[in-house]
Chain A
Amino acid sequence: MKIEVVDCKGVKVLALSGDIDMYSSPDLRKELMHFVHKKVSPLLVDFRGVSYIDSSGIATFVEGLKSMMGYGGKLKFVGIPEKIMEILCFAKLDRVFEIYGSIDDACRN
């Protein structure tokens, strides 16, 4: 998995690529919690390059989301590939996370 931090018109975007699994989740957690500790909001996660996510990856985002809720922060997912959307829908996590089609959509809302 690769993590790239992009600044998009003043909004922080974590652009991810590859598999998010039990081996790569610790790196993702480190990066995500870095922004959470700084109380960054909104924080966007760009999934366009992600090929797979397992439950450890989802748990990392759940931890980030719960921590962000503590300071009223918003965690927004964008560009989720169909197969990953299927996993999120299976688990009804599409109701837990804010999901948008594009970075612009996420910034507008």
Chain B
Amino acid sequence: MEEEPRVTVLEDYLKGIEKKVDNLKVLIEVSSLISSTLDLNDLMPLVMEKAKNVMNAEACSILFYNRETNKLEFEVAMCDENSKSDILKKTITLEMGQGIAGWVAENRKAIVIEDVSKDSRFFQGADKMTGFTTKSIVAVPLVGRSGLIGVAEIINPSVKDYDTEIFELLCRQFAIAIENARFHKESIEREKLKQQLEIASSLQKSFLPESPLIRKGKFTISAVNYSAAQVGGDIYDFVEPSDEKMGVLIGDVSGKGISAALYMAKFISDFRYVSHGLDEPDVTLNRLNSLVSKAPRGMFLTAIYSVVNTVTGHLHLSVAGHPPFIWISAGEVRVMTVESGPPLGIMPVEYPSVSLQLRCGDRVIFLTDGVFDAKNSAGERIGFDPVVEFARRHAEDPQLVSRIIEYVDDFSKGMERADDLTMVEIWWNA
């Protein structure tokens, strides 16, 4: 009978193999932990607890790198007492290069320090604040695809033959997991913001007149309003200050998003209150100006408020820093740059007013900058003059406003609408 070959294996070698198997087990466990959740708050303590147990350590911590302040901040600190963790998280930040963690972050290198008392880089402030005694540290940088994420530290491990390889491997996986969790959180926040913007957009629309078209006598007053993807602050409104008159407002709030929508909502309620029974547009703007002057963050609003007598065709208007408007009379297209005050909400000022005498068949078109600021895919803006030229070529078209919008949309084809677009037309029908 043939004798089986005998293999002699050294005990140390076997121990080494056993250790590698144990390490692999830990890595597999951490991998499954990482794939089990995208919530960073759940993930970090789980992984660090695992690392702490492997090294039989007294404490562990994760410091995140804050790009804005260029400092390291304690995100997770696990030790014998929660109060010590809280002190670290609330009170201690490290400069780049400060302390062991600062050195690891700056040099992007793992480090093992068996006796911190002999290392001049060690920052004693944390121990003084918490009453904890740090003897030894294993610190590894957390580096992801987008650069430095932070530093992971194991404090006072009782395993003396430090094998940083396992901790480094673990941290590499961990860095990827942190990035994935952050991307996930950002995408959830983006989705939330999108939903909030959609609500803001619907709220904004609900403040506009129920019908965008109103007829009074021989006058037709109509408006079109398209919201930007980011929700702008365009506004229009129709009021009846007296039997024969119609008040027509167009405005544009500075900025975009929820703040612009809220400001617009406040403004429209102020406008309806102030304009009630008042047919002098300059006085209306003066009063509105003082009401909106305390808006935060320098917010302001450009506007034109006009009051048209639907019997005589007399148009009285006042302008607050709003772009010029178009007056089409007997086929001639005129760009009207009239005397104006600054936008509402900036400074105390008396707004001037001007009067125009419309004739039967005349059209007055007010617009916001969303019309002439529209961008094409090459990043060029359409500009005010080309819009006016287009209006000249189509001055007789009853659907002129729709034609202008088609022209703008065609120019910015394939682009997301960057700003609200609003046009209001006063037409003395022939």
Chain A residues near B (Cβ < 8 Å)? 22, 29, 52, 54-56, 58-66, 90-93, 95-96
Cβ–Cβ contact B347 & A96, under 8 A = yes
Which of B53-61, B176-184, B293-301, B406-414 is the contact stretch? B293-301
Q: Beyond the given A59-B299, A62-B346, A92-B321, could you list 20 further A-B residue pairs with CB under 8 A, ordered by the A residue number?
A: A22-B255, A22-B256, A22-B257, A54-B419, A55-B252, A55-B255, A55-B300, A55-B369, A56-B254, A58-B300, A59-B255, A59-B300, A60-B297, A62-B298, A90-B323, A91-B302, A91-B342, A92-B340, A93-B342, A96-B342
0/1 per residue, B248-259, Cβ < 8 Å to A? Answer: 000011111100
Chain B residues near A (Cβ < 8 Å)? 230, 252-257, 297-300, 302, 321-324, 340-343, 346-347, 369, 373, 381, 419
Question: How distant is the Cα of A28 from the Cα of B53 in the complex, in angstroms?
Answer: 48
Question: How distant is the Cα of A62 from the Cα of B299 in the complex, in angstroms?
Answer: 8
Cβ–Cβ contact A92 & B341, under 8 A = yes
- In the assembled complex, the CB of B283 is this many whole angstroms from the nearest CB of chain A, namely 19
Most chain B beta-carbon contacts within 10 A, residue among A60, A65, A66, A90: A90
Cβ–Cβ contact A92 & B342, under 8 A = yes
If A55-B255, A56-B254, A58-B254 touch, whether A93 touches B298 (CB-CB below 8 Å) is no
Q: Tell me which residues across on chain B come within 8 A of A61, comparing CB atoms.
A: 298
Q: Tell me which residues across on chain A come within 8 A of B302, comparing CB atoms.
A: 91
Cβ–Cβ contact B297 & A59, under 8 A = yes
Report whether over half of chain A's contact residues are helix, strand or loop; otherwise say mixed: helix
Question: How distant is the Cα of A66 from the Cα of B346 in the complex, in angstroms?
Answer: 8
Cβ–Cβ contact A22 & B343, under 8 A = no
Q: Tell me which residues across on chain A come within 8 A of B256, comparing CB atoms.
A: 22, 56
Q: Tell me which residues across on chain B come within 8 A of A96, comparing CB atoms.
A: 342, 346-347
- In the assembled complex, the CB of B4 is this many whole angstroms from the nearest CB of chain A, namely 74
- A and B contact pairs by CB, cutoff 8 A, 25 listed: A22-B256, A52-B381, A55-B254, A56-B254, A56-B255, A58-B254, A58-B298, A59-B297, A59-B299, A60-B298, A61-B298, A62-B254, A62-B298, A63-B297, A63-B298, A65-B298, A66-B298, A91-B302, A91-B342, A92-B321, A92-B341, A92-B342, A93-B343, A95-B342, A96-B346
> Top 3 closest A-B pairs, CB basis?
A63-B298, A62-B298, A55-B254
Q: Tell me which residues across on chain B come within 8 A of A65, comparing CB atoms.
A: 298
Most chain B beta-carbon contacts within 10 A, residue among A56, A58, A59, A60: A59
Q: Name which residue of chain A comes closest to B373, CB basis.
A: A54
Q: Tell me which residues across on chain A come within 8 A of B300, comparing CB atoms.
A: 55, 58-59, 62
Question: How distant is the Cα of A48 from the Cα of B191 in the complex, in angstroms?
Answer: 38
Most chain B beta-carbon contacts within 10 A, residue among A54, A92, A95: A92
- In the assembled complex, the CB of A80 is this many whole angstroms from the nearest CB of chain B, namely 17
Question: How distant is the Cα of A60 from the Cα of B324 in the complex, in angstroms?
Answer: 24
Q: Tell me which residues across on chain B come within 8 A of A59, comparing CB atoms.
A: 254-255, 297-300
Q: Name which residue of chain A comes closest to B298, CB basis.
A: A63
If A58-B254, A59-B254, A96-B342 touch, whether A91 touches B298 (CB-CB below 8 Å) is no
Cβ–Cβ contact A91 & B321, under 8 A = yes
Q: Tell me which residues across on chain B come within 8 A of A92, comparing CB atoms.
A: 321, 340-343
Question: How distant is the Cα of A96 from the Cα of B349 in the complex, in angstroms?
Answer: 11
Question: How distant is the Cα of A60 from the Cα of B254 in the complex, in angstroms?
Answer: 10
Question: How distant is the Cα of A60 from the Cα of B302 in the complex, in angstroms?
Answer: 15
Question: How distant is the Cα of A66 from the Cα of B369 in the complex, in angstroms?
Answer: 24
Q: Tell me which residues across on chain A come within 8 A of B369, comparing CB atoms.
A: 55, 90
Q: Name which residue of chain B comes closest to A63, CB basis.
A: B298
Question: How distant is the Cα of A54 from the Cα of B230 in the complex, in angstroms?
Answer: 14
Q: Tell me which residues across on chain A come within 8 A of B381, comparing CB atoms.
A: 52
- In the assembled complex, the CB of B428 is this many whole angstroms from the nearest CB of chain A, namely 27
- In the assembled complex, the CB of B399 is this many whole angstroms from the nearest CB of chain A, namely 27
Q: Tell me which residues across on chain B come within 8 A of A66, comparing CB atoms.
A: 298, 346
- In the assembled complex, the CB of A55 is this many whole angstroms from the nearest CB of chain B, namely 4
Question: How distant is the Cα of A62 from the Cα of B343 in the complex, in angstroms?
Answer: 11
Cβ–Cβ contact A22 & B298, under 8 A = no
Cβ–Cβ contact B324 & A90, under 8 A = yes
